[in-house]
Structure 1
């Protein structure tokens, strides 16, 4: 039964981490290519705000060819959430295997 519980917990954590990664990835791509403020884009930006807030202003965005904006703080947030998610999943697996 413990193996089944560990499997379920790690799967849930994987889904949550993946959802955050996809959301932040979409945010970065939409910002990079200057997506128009349509409802879908606003929805992605609104969903991303709580995840990006702790990293706001860490790095200055980079502007390429006066058209493409790379939000380095959002990219940094994506990296940090990925690392933290991986560490938490590994810890759960280690704790549950004992």
Structure 2
């Protein structure tokens, strides 16, 4: 196992710093975009937006694959006045933040020079 780790580290250490920076930036931007859409979904669900509206349907349709692994972990929370806290979306926001953190920590194992 240790030998495999050293071989991976050696292979990755030969990648130029520009590629590391690009990978880091790409992951960061994709994560920010995903989180933006998940927060929009959470807000629309909370406010009870009409699912037949074009913008709402678009956001629900394209965020559903990212939220679906988190369905049924917790029950949705219904508040007075018809407000809804979608716990699947909230779990997805937290879950993907943890995933990106783990990915960055993994990349930092191989190159402390290129990542902040």
TM-score (norm 2): 0.77
Shift of 1:90: 2.8
Residue of structure 1 in register with 2:44 after alignment: 30
Contact 1:31/1:70 (8 A) holds in 2: yes
Find the partner of 1:19 among 25, 28, 33.
Answer: 33
For these two proteins, the number of residue pairs brought into alignment is: 98
* CA radius of gyration, larger in: 2
Shift of 1:17: 1.1
Unaligned segments of structure 1, at least 5 residues:
none
Name the CA distance, whole Å, in 1 between partners of 2:112 and 2:97. 23
Shift of 1:42: 0.3
- Note the aligned Cα RMSD (angstroms): 1.6
TM-score (norm 1): 0.90
Unaligned segments of structure 2, at least 5 residues:
1-14
